[in-house]
Amino acid sequence: MKKISILLICISLAAVCYAVDKGSLALGWEAGHPVVRYWLQPEMALEVGANFSMTSVSGGAPTDTGIALSAKGLKVLKSVGSLNISAGVGLEITSRSNAYNQQDRNISAFGLGVLLDFEYFVKAVPNVSLGAMVGIAFVSTTDKITVAGVSVSQTSTTICPTGGLSLGGLSIKYYFK
């Protein structure tokens, strides 16, 4: 992942072009995972992301394996110089097997939310943007564990903040022309 980030930074320093035209495509890193943003129109974008994780611990515990898929649609509310302020809706689907390194513990979640997205285009390198997102999401989580052949499942629903002003809400993107 570090190699990809370094490559994106090197490419952005080598090229100069104007971003956010219809058909503009960006690759980036947001909230801890890679994303692709595509501008359908000068003020409407679609973004998709994916993340895969594996966590192992010593002592023979099973590997915690997870996947997350996300998508969001954005509409620019206001452009001020190099800053776009957009509103949008987003969804995320996650699944983990052997969660918390516990054999046969599976967790799945579905989240749907609304958000504000702030994207600043760096003037020195116009095809690079820095961003932040804040929002609120409705999340439904199912936690299922099987012990001695007996499955127990618990579903919970919460409303929680997303992004915020934490590291998880920050992004960097490189736009291709």
Domains along the chain with CATH numbers: 2-176 (2.40.160.20)
In angstroms, rounded to a whole number, what is the distance separating the alpha carbons of residues 120 and 79?
A: 10
| 50-65 pLDDT tens trace | 988 888 877 777 888 8
What values do phi and psi take at 46, rounded to 5? -125, 135
pLDDT tens digits, one per residue of 95-129: 988 888 888 888 898 989 999 999 999 989 878 99
| pLDDT for residue 2 is more than 70 | no
- How many H helices and E strands in the chain? 1, 9
| Closest CA relative to residue 171, chosen from 34, 19, 18 | 34
Give the whole-angstrom CA distance, residue 26 versus residue 33: 14
Q: What is the pLDDT of residues 82-92, one digit of tens each?
A: 999 999 999 98
